[in-house]
Structure 1
Amino acid sequence: MTATHAQPYTQRVRRRTKAGAVRDVVALVLLPVPLLVALPFAFAGGSGGTRRWFGGRAENVRADAQAAKDAAAAAFYELDTAQRDLRISIETITAVDSSPKGRKAVEDFAALGRRIDEVSHTYITAVDAHDLDRDDLEASTAARARAELTSAKDELVRVKGELDRYAQALGPLLDTAETQLARLAPAVERARQALLAASNALDAVRASGLRADDLAARLAALAPELTKLNQGAGRHGVPETLHRADRVVRDAEAVRTEAERLPERAAEIDRRLVSLRTRAQALTTRAGKVEPILSELRRRFTVACWQDLQGVPAQTASTVRQAEERIKEAAKARDEQRWPDAVSLLSTVRALLNSTDEAVSAAGDRLQRLNAVSKDPQQEIERTRFAIRDAQRLAMAGRNTPDPRHARPLDDSVARLDRAVAGLEGRHPDYWHFLTETEAVRRTVARVVSDIREERGGGS
């Protein structure tokens, strides 16, 4: 129902009511005193000048028609008010919900609007067709007016019922839309505050002498997003504005966090530079001991025991040089405040030194293990046999015969250990081969034990 439908009727009703009241008052005031005295007698009945509709059935019909008109006006007002209130709800849903359900709700409201326009037109036509204030109003005309106004009222009430049912079904959609609208202002404000906090953190970092150019660029990139937030949801829509606000909060907080951590990050890079320089120097010193270790390995053990270590001294020297070059590059990046580059270079240095440390340690560990096994291989043998026997007991637990999947690799491990022990009987035993074989046997046994426990654990 549009305002153009309701307003003319309301104005007409008010105009007619007020005009009728004024005419009655003016007529009474202008009458001569004798007529005023005689007026009650004229209303009481009698002959001559008395209007036909006063008294009796005709007057009752006029009153009924007026009552029907008042009832229809009330129904019209209730329907108009409900439609206006519901239009606000629809506008709320339209601003937030573009889903198929939201679109259908709008379409249904439009269809109801057309029905409301139809019944409102019928009502207004009935009101305009009958002037119940006419002095010469016929009883039949009043009866017809009552019937038409009653019918119009019934239609208004029926459509009002449809509108109420529609409004009730609209509840979940409206609740969701109102929830999103309620989130809108706080979300936009959080975004503004997050940007302000990031800007303040960046200013504080710069005041300490750190440029933080990358963080400044990331913060500047959020400026267009703030502009769109300030333009409001009316232009960009509520869902998109909420998503934009959340995104701005997330990105601005990331900038703020990194800005606040930047002094600590710079100090950490400085500490790592010092630590890695010291470590590189220590590795250079340790690398000098590799050659004497290799000389002893060559003198006391077969070629197979040390051949794979021949390249360790040259490899160590080369790797340490690379690490020292990367340390210089990292220091330069630190001075230029290229923080990501500095961190990346230091990670490369650490990887280089780790590999060098392993190679240097391998030579010393090799000599130590070969010395131990050459003096007493029985300890290594017993250690490996104990592992096999322990796995065999586990494989037989609760069974009369072991599972072939477990028994076969354990039997193969026994045979492999026996062959490794037999290899020590020569004049120049390959102790390194013996050690690698026993280690391989223990790894195989450990896998079998793990499989058994996993199967039994899963079945329990």
Structure 2
Amino acid sequence: MTATPAQPYSPSKPRARRARGRIPLRAARDVLTLTMLPLIAALALPATFAGGGTRRWFGGRAENQRAEAQAAKDAAAAAFYELDSAQRDLRISIETINAVDDSPAARRAIADFEALGRRIDEASHRYIGAVDAHDLDRDDLDASSASRARSELTAAKDELTRVKQELDRFARSLGPLLDKAETQLARLAPAVERARQALLAASTALDTARGGGLKADDLAARLAALSPELTKLNEGAGRHGVPQTLERAGRVTREAEAIRVEAERLPERAAEIDRRLVSLRTRAQALTTRSEQVEPILSELRRRFTVACWQDLQRVPEVAVDNVRQAEAKLAEAQAARNEQRWADATALLSTVRALLNTTDEAVSAAGERLNRLNAVQKDPEQEIERTRFALRDAQRLAMAGRNTPDPRHAGPLDAAVARLEQAIAGLEGRHPDYWRFLTETEAVRATAAEVVARIREERGAGAP
């Protein structure tokens, strides 16, 4: 608000009037002069005291005070305008932060701005009151009134300037919050557009898959569930908030992208399920043939080795037949799910079939491997013994490396492993040795040696003594 400059004060100056006219006779002029002289003197005397001389002296002082008051008024008006402009600019920044940021720092900044607003209102009211209290344009403004006006207007201007400085400091402190808010606002439009484009791409991919004879009902349902989210995005951040809109746009983009990828993979997924159906069906048939060979292997194990060497394999033929039967039933269910395009169900069923066949394969293979290992150790147990002793010696050398005596934490398990190996070797003596127990014992001894070696290396790698 800018005050209108006062018009310069120009006091009127009385003028003496002179009578005009012709005097034809000199005598008459002299008589007239003598007659009018006392009257002129009488009229001129009071004019000297009450006229132009006194008015001009007082008017000069008042004019100076009036000019100074007017200058103070103009300066206060300029300060008021600068503060008002700064407040309006800062309000835009505060509204930007408020729309985007709900952090404690942002809430504190908003509260501080409201407090500053009250300070600005107080300073503004003081300025407006000072302006309204003094009419600098009136003719009878005296020097004391002008001086008082100048003093009050100067004080109002100083107060406005102080508040403006506080406002400037506050504005500078908002830098990080404002940068963060503006960054989020800059992300808003691109994020919403990405969400829209992702939805469009997902819809296009779904239409393409359907055109190829694939139903994709589950993907269509997931895409339809995003429709309310798109509506909220279209309603804008002004209604739902900038952070919420950014989060919603990101979520819609991710889900739409996932739908698009799955829709584009549907033909490949269908072909992959078809391949797995064929492969697992062939494997089940092969396991049926292999499981029939388990019984002859068990017969040989029973004939040549003790009960402990084959007792745990007794149910392998029965389990193999049962597992293959279950696998074939699950394969039929998977084929039906594939025909109905229930892709998730088909995939889960095929995983179950694979697990059943893996278990059967391991059981069937275990019988043949058992016979091979028992044949090998029966023929030459020294090979297994030497292999185990080598593992123990390697662990003992590592335990003694850089030491005069081994660490009891390492020596104890290794000594026990040595004793265990000797007992296993002693068990081979006799008419019917338990070769399977011998093999399991040597495996356990080698496992102990490997654990000690791993522990030593870990401790030395960590800097332990």
Asked if Structure 1 and Structure 2 have the same fold, meaning a TM-score greater than 0.5 normalized by the shorter chain, the answer is yes
Are 1:142 and 2:140 matched, yes or no? no
**Which residue does the alignment assign to 1:234?**
238
CA distance in 2, matches of 1:269, 1:382: 49
One-letter code of the match for 1:238? V
| Contact 2:62–2:141 under 8 Å retained in 1 | no
Where does 1:148-297 land on structure 2 (aligned, <5 Å)? 148-297=152-301
1:426 is displaced (CA, Å) by 1.4
Relative to structure 1, the CA distance from residue 101 to residue 390 in structure 2 (aligned partners, 3 Å threshold; closer, same or farther) is closer
| Contact 2:330–2:352 under 8 Å retained in 1 | yes
| Contact 2:201–2:260 under 8 Å retained in 1 | yes
Instruction: State the Cα deviation string for residues 377-405 of structure 1 (Å, max 9, x = none).
Output: 12112111222222222222222222222
Q: Which of 386, 396, 402 is 2:400 aligned to? A: 396
CA distance in 1, matches of 2:392, 2:118: 89
Unaligned runs of 5+ in 1: 1-5, 25-45
Structure 1 stretch 108-117 or stretch 268-277: which is displaced more? 108-117
**Which residue does the alignment assign to 1:91?**
95
Structure 1 stretch 66-75 or stretch 404-413: which is displaced more? 404-413
CA distance in 1, matches of 2:96, 2:352: 57
Instruction: State the Cα deviation string for residues 328-376 of structure 1 (Å, max 9, x = none).
Output: 1111111111111111111100100000000110111111111111111
Secondary structure at 1:81 match in 2:
helix
| Contact 1:284–1:317 under 8 Å retained in 2 | yes
Q: Which of 345, 352, 355 is 1:351 aligned to? A: 355
Instruction: State the Cα deviation string for residues 291-315 of structure 1 (Å, max 9, x = none).
Output: 1111121222222221211111111
1:77 is displaced (CA, Å) by 0.8
Are 1:382 and 2:389 matched, yes or no? no
One-letter code of the match for 2:244? E
CA distance in 1, matches of 2:115, 2:429: 102
Are 1:331 and 2:319 matched, yes or no? no
CA distance in 2, matches of 1:169, 1:456: 54
One-letter code of the match for 1:337? Q
**Which residue does the alignment assign to 2:64?**
60
One-letter code of the match for 2:101? D
**Which residue does the alignment assign to 1:433?**
437
1:457 is displaced (CA, Å) by 2.3
| Contact 1:53–1:136 under 8 Å retained in 2 | no
**Which residue does the alignment assign to 1:298?**
302
One-letter code of the match for 1:451? R
CA distance in 2, matches of 1:83, 1:256: 49
| Contact 1:72–1:149 under 8 Å retained in 2 | yes
One-letter code of the match for 1:426? G
Instruction: State the Cα deviation string for residues 410-431 of structure 1 (Å, max 9, x = none).
Output: 2222222222222222112222
Where does 1:31-70 land on structure 2 (aligned, <5 Å)? 56-70=60-74
CA RMSD of aligned residues (A): 2.3
Total equivalences in the alignment: 424
Secondary structure at 2:438 match in 1:
helix
CA distance in 2, matches of 1:119, 1:367: 102
CA distance in 1, matches of 2:459, 2:125: 82
CA distance in 1, matches of 2:348, 2:120: 71
| Contact 1:53–1:138 under 8 Å retained in 2 | no
CA distance in 2, matches of 1:231, 1:184: 13
Instruction: State the Cα deviation string for residues 223-282 of structure 1 (Å, max 9, x = none).
Output: 111111111112111111111111111111111121122221111111111110111111
Instruction: State the Cα deviation string for residues 144-195 of structure 1 (Å, max 9, x = none).
Output: 2222222221121121112112212222222222222222212111111111
Relative to structure 1, the CA distance from residue 285 to residue 53 in structure 2 (aligned partners, 3 Å threshold; closer, same or farther) is farther
Structure 1 stretch 168-177 or stretch 74-83: which is displaced more? 168-177
Secondary structure at 2:396 match in 1:
helix
CA distance in 2, matches of 1:459, 1:273: 54
Larger Rg: 2
Relative to structure 1, the CA distance from residue 417 to residue 308 in structure 2 (aligned partners, 3 Å threshold; closer, same or farther) is same
CA distance in 2, matches of 1:231, 1:49: 79
CA distance in 1, matches of 2:198, 2:334: 33
1:62 is displaced (CA, Å) by 2.0
Structure 1 stretch 56-65 or stretch 436-445: which is displaced more? 56-65
CA distance in 1, matches of 2:377, 2:111: 89
Secondary structure at 2:462 match in 1:
helix
1:135 is displaced (CA, Å) by 3.0
CA distance in 2, matches of 1:115, 1:302: 101
Structure 1 stretch 103-112 or stretch 212-221: which is displaced more? 103-112
TM-score (norm 1): 0.87
One-letter code of the match for 1:297? L
| Contact 1:53–1:137 under 8 Å retained in 2 | no
**Which residue does the alignment assign to 1:116?**
120
Secondary structure at 1:209 match in 2:
coil
| Contact 1:53–1:59 under 8 Å retained in 2 | no
Relative to structure 1, the CA distance from residue 93 to residue 379 in structure 2 (aligned partners, 3 Å threshold; closer, same or farther) is same
| Contact 1:316–1:360 under 8 Å retained in 2 | yes
Secondary structure at 2:136 match in 1:
coil
CA distance in 1, matches of 2:108, 2:421: 79
**Which residue does the alignment assign to 1:36?**
none
Relative to structure 1, the CA distance from residue 49 to residue 201 in structure 2 (aligned partners, 3 Å threshold; closer, same or farther) is farther
Unaligned runs of 5+ in 2: 11-49
Structure 1 stretch 169-178 or stretch 277-286: which is displaced more? 169-178
**Which residue does the alignment assign to 1:411?**
415
One-letter code of the match for 2:115? A
| Contact 1:53–1:139 under 8 Å retained in 2 | no
1:93 is displaced (CA, Å) by 1.5
